[in-house]
């Protein structure tokens, strides 16, 4: 599967522009994590890119979400490792996260939301001037972007990251595609 094919499939299955941006942001963080950890950047990036492809198809039914996504990814030629990471990123299925890829996707997913929210409360609503320290502050403010699971982000420890380092990596990764994210 090429990145172009993955993007085509996303465009065919997802209308919500913010959801597509969320998947692009997750891809960027997953690529950065793969580079940092000496993993397969393409595999990790495409896993991040595709992970919510079924969100609209499943109409928010969390009992189906990510099962269908994993099947769609497999049909597109994703490896079993990629499909598994997509499948278990939805905790509802109770499938344990086993590999580094599983664990990376799980903690990268909510980090995009925290960083996006932190950018949107800035006067310019841009990522460019945002610094990791401010994101860290927002992380501690429980009422800020309350839907973002701090606990889930903190599981970056399972892939060997300190929280500060993880936030920094995520922020730089998203800043690298700021134009695509419209931030």
Pairwise CA distance, residues 78 & 75, whole Å: 7
- Are 22 and 66 in contact by the 8 Å Cβ rule? The answer is no
Closer residue to Fe ion, CB minimum distance, 102 or 109? 109
* 102 is a contact residue toward Fe ion (CB under 5 A): no
Binding segment toward Fe ion, per CB under 5 A, in 5-13, 44-52, 164-172, 173-181: 44-52
Pairwise CA distance, residues 112 & 20, whole Å: 12
Tell me how many residues contact Fe ion (CB under 5 A).
Answer: 2
Distance from the Cα of residue 45 to its chain's centroid: 9
What are the CA-CA distances from residue 131 to residues 106, 108, 122, 138, 169 (Å)? 23, 18, 11, 11, 11
Binding segment toward Fe ion, per CB under 5 A, in 36-44, 46-54, 122-130, 132-140: 46-54
Task: Kindly state the smallest distance separating residue 48's Cβ from Fe ion, in Å.
Answer: 9
Among 109, 130, 139, 170, binds Fe ion (CB under 5 A): 109
Among 27, 45, 47, 52, binds Fe ion (CB under 5 A): 52
Binding interface with Fe ion (CB under 5 A): 52, 109
């Amino acid at each position: 599967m090429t990145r172009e094919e993955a993007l085509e499939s996303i465009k065919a299955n997802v209308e919500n522009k913010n959801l597509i941006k969320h998947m692009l942001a997750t891809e960027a963080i997953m690529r950065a994590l793969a580079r940092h950890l000496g993993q397969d950047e393409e595999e990790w990036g495409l896993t991040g890119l595709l992970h919510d492809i079924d969100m609209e198809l499943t109409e928010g039914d969390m009992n189906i979400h990510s099962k269908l996504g994993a099947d769609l990814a497999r049909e597109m030629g994703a490896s079993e490792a990629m499909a598994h990471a997509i499948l278990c990123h939805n905790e509802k299925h109770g499938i344990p996260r086993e590999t580094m890829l599983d664990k990376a996707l799980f903690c990268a997913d909510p980090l995009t939301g925290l960083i996006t929210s932190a950018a949107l409360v800035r006067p310019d609503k841009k990522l460019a001037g945002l610094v990791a320290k401010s994101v860290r502050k927002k992380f501690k403010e429980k009422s800020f972007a309350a839907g973002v699971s701090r606990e889930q982000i903190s599981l970056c420890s399972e892939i060997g990251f300190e929280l500060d380092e993880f936030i920094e990596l995520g922020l730089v990764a998203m800043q690298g595609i700021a134009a695509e994210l419209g931030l």
